[in-house]
């Protein structure tokens, strides 16, 4: 059996025999193509395995593949037949390497060398067709040399993927002979696009913890809670904030070895952040892209940067965030006088929610927030918050209430009802901060209760 086929067979069987979870067919394709295997070769190998080593089942998120007993025995036999020194077996044992073969500084210097060459090519004066042809040839050679550098200076599992970012150009060429001016403009545009691709490669490497820190995160990120994954994605998008592009959310999780519960989870997490207005999203053919908004940046900065101490006062540990419910809003609730409703419990819930948020008791924040949502519907003439979110007020109010209903309710329910697990991640200020939407709700309570 040829070595590339051995590598592919071992890698595929490794995923099939993963004891932690099962994968969809799309996930297999993503994993294996990321490691540099050809799509047709993957399908060919799957067709070979399907005879007695592989079963395919329908699930909630697509078609799942699992190994049979024969498949597990085939993997053991293949390993035994080629010996323990095989690079493929080492990859099977150590999982995805995700590493640079040099220091990051050496890698960055090499990549920026190609970037500078492209910048210099952009400045070259071109007046004739022959000069343009020579310049295009130099451009192609530089692009191929950069791709070769990426393959040679990174581990196999990421090298081909990074090289493809530089090699693949999304451009549409009209048939026929092009006028000189059009060809020159296309040449300049290609240089700009390839420089953008090089910057994209550097951003990918910088945001990948396994690559930058040269160690695996697989075990410690195998059982992250949804809350932790949500915070992780927002934090990474903040680090990438100076880029104007939308970032593939699945790629961010994959390249940081964050284990997903299912194939659609990255999209759901990004949508949850979008509901809070912390990110903007755009749909791709096989996923969802996201970039952080100003509100999202502000939220991350509240957690990362303590407020500066006042001049001439001794330094104290200052609050990292404003009060969850503004004192003015609580005062408005206290002043309400209504024949049918007593607001003392609501006022106390608001006070305790704010106190717990200030003190970092974020589990209590989710539960008190859910209690407020369950407490106020009769003020609007309904019995459940679902009815309030769907039927009361204008579109802007309904959107804010949908955010509360879709996000805060689910987060609170997870902490209230999930049984103990092998590993837990506690909520943080970012995850439970629904203060804007909560204020919209309470402002409407004040308005509604003040009506004559």
144-176 confidence digits (pLDDT tens): 999 999 988 888 778 888 888 888 775 544 455
Provide the CA 390 distance to its chain's centre, in angstroms.
Answer: 30
Q: What is the tally of helices (H) and strands (E) in the chain?
A: 22, 6
Q: Mind listing the pLDDT tens digit for each residue in 189-223?
A: 999 999 999 998 999 888 998 888 878 888 888 88
Q: Residue 179: which pLDDT band, with cuts at 50, 70 and 90?
A: confident
Position 161 scores a pLDDT of 81
As given in the structure block, the two tokens for residue 203 are 């951003």
Q: What is the DSSP string of 257-310?
A: TPPPSSTTHHHHHHHHHHHTTSEEEEEETTEEEEEE-HHHHHHHHHHHSPPPPP
Q: Strands 54-59 and 287-292, how do they pair?
A: unpaired
- Average pLDDT, integer, range 312-340: 74
Of 6, 77, 83, the C-alpha closest to 45 is 6
Q: Mind listing the pLDDT tens digit for each residue in 130-152?
A: 898 999 999 999 999 999 999 88
CA-to-CA dists, residue 215 to 94, 98, 229, angstroms = 11, 8, 19
Q: Within 10 Å of residue 164's Cβ, how many Cβ atoms?
A: 15
3-state secondary structure of 36: coil
First to last CA, the chain: 84
Position 73 scores a pLDDT of 63
More confident residue, 349 or 181: 349
Distance, in Å, from the CA atom of 153 to the CA atom of 225, rounded to the nearest integer, reads: 34
11-45 in b/e burial notation, b at 16+ Cβ within 10 A? bbbbbbeeeeebbbbebbbbbbebbbbeeeebeeb
Q: Within 10 Å of residue 324's Cβ, how many Cβ atoms?
A: 22
407-443 in b/e burial notation, b at 16+ Cβ within 10 A? bbbebbeebeeeeeeeeebebebbbbbbbebbebbbe
CA-to-CA dists, residue 205 to 235, 319, 349, 361, angstroms = 16, 34, 46, 35
Q: Residue 15: which pLDDT band, with cuts at 50, 70 and 90?
A: low
- Which backbone phi and psi does 303 adopt, to 5 degrees? -80, -30
Distance, in Å, from the CA atom of 14 to the CA atom of 93, rounded to the nearest integer, reads: 9
Q: Residue 87: which pLDDT band, with cuts at 50, 70 and 90?
A: very low
Distance, in Å, from the CA atom of 157 to the CA atom of 372, rounded to the nearest integer, reads: 49
Of 237, 201, 251, 269, the C-alpha closest to 33 is 251
Indicate the burial class of 192 (C-beta count within 10 angstroms; 0-12, 13-18, 19 or more): exposed
Q: Residue 19: which pLDDT band, with cuts at 50, 70 and 90?
A: very low
Distance, in Å, from the CA atom of 302 to the CA atom of 436, rounded to the nearest integer, reads: 15
Q: Mind listing the pLDDT tens digit for each residue in 407-417?
A: 787 788 777 87
Position 176 scores a pLDDT of 53
Position 317 scores a pLDDT of 37
Distance, in Å, from the CA atom of 397 to the CA atom of 400, rounded to the nearest integer, reads: 5
Please provide the size of the chain in residues: 452
For residue 333, give the H/E element and its range: helix 327-334
Average pLDDT, the chain: 79
Distance, in Å, from the CA atom of 183 to the CA atom of 187, rounded to the nearest integer, reads: 6
Distance, in Å, from the CA atom of 255 to the CA atom of 213, rounded to the nearest integer, reads: 13
For the chain, give the percent of residues with pLDDT over 70: 72
């Amino acid at each position: 059996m040829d070595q590339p086929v051995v590598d592919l067979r071992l890698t595929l069987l490794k995923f099939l025999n993963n004891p932690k979870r099962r994968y969809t067919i799309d996930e297999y394709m993503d994993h294996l193509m990321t490691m540099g295997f050809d799509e047709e070769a993957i399908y060919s190998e799957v067709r070979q395995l399907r005879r007695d080593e592989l079963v395919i089942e329908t699930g909630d998120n697509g078609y799942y593949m699992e190994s049979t007993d024969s498949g597990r025995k085939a993997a053991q036999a293949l390993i035994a037949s080629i010996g323990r020194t095989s690079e493929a077996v080492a990859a099977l044992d150590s999982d995805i390497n995700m590493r640079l073969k040099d220091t990051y500084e050496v890698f960055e210097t090499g990549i920026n060398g190609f970037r500078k060459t492209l910048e210099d090519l952009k400045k070259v004066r071109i007046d004739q067709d022959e000069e343009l042809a020579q310049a295009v040839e130099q451009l192609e050679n530089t692009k191929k040399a950069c791709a070769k550098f990426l393959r040679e200076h990174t581990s196999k599992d990421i090298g081909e993927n990074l090289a493809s970012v530089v090699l693949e150009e999304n451009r549409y060429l009209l048939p026929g002979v092009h006028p000189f001016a059009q060809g020159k403009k296309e040449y300049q545009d290609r240089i700009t696009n390839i420089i953008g691709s090089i910057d994209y490669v550097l951003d990918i490497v910088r945001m990948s913890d396994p690559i930058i820190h040269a160690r695996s995160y697989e075990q410690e990120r195998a059982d992250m809670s949804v809350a932790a994954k949500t915070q992780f994605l927002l934090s990474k998008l903040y680090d990438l904030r100076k880029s104007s592009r939308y970032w593939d959310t699945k790629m961010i999780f994959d390249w940081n070895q964050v284990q997903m519960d299912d194939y659609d989870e990255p999209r759901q997490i990004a949508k949850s952040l979008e509901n809070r207005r912390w990110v903007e999203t755009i749909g791709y053919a096989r996923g969802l892209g996201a970039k952080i908004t100003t509100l999202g940046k502000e939220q991350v900065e509240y957690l990362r940067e303590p407020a500066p101490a006042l001049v001439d006062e001794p330094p104290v540990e200052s609050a990292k965030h404003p009060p969850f419910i503004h004192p003015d809003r609580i005062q408005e609730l206290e002043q309400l006088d209504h024949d049918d409703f007593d607001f003392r419990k609501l006022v106390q819930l608001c006070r305790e929610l704010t106190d717990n948020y200030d003190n970092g008791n974020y589990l209590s924040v989710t539960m008190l927030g859910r209690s407020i949502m369950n407490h106020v519907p009769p003020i609007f003439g309904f019995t459940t918050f679902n009815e309030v979110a769907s039927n009361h007020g204008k579109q802007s109010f309904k959107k804010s209430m949908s955010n509360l209903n879709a996000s805060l309710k689910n987060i609170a329910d997870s902490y209230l009802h999930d049984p103990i697990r092998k590993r837990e991640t506690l909520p943080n200020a970012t995850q439970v901060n629904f203060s804007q939407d909560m204020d919209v709700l309470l402002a409407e309570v004040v308005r509604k209760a003040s009506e004559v």
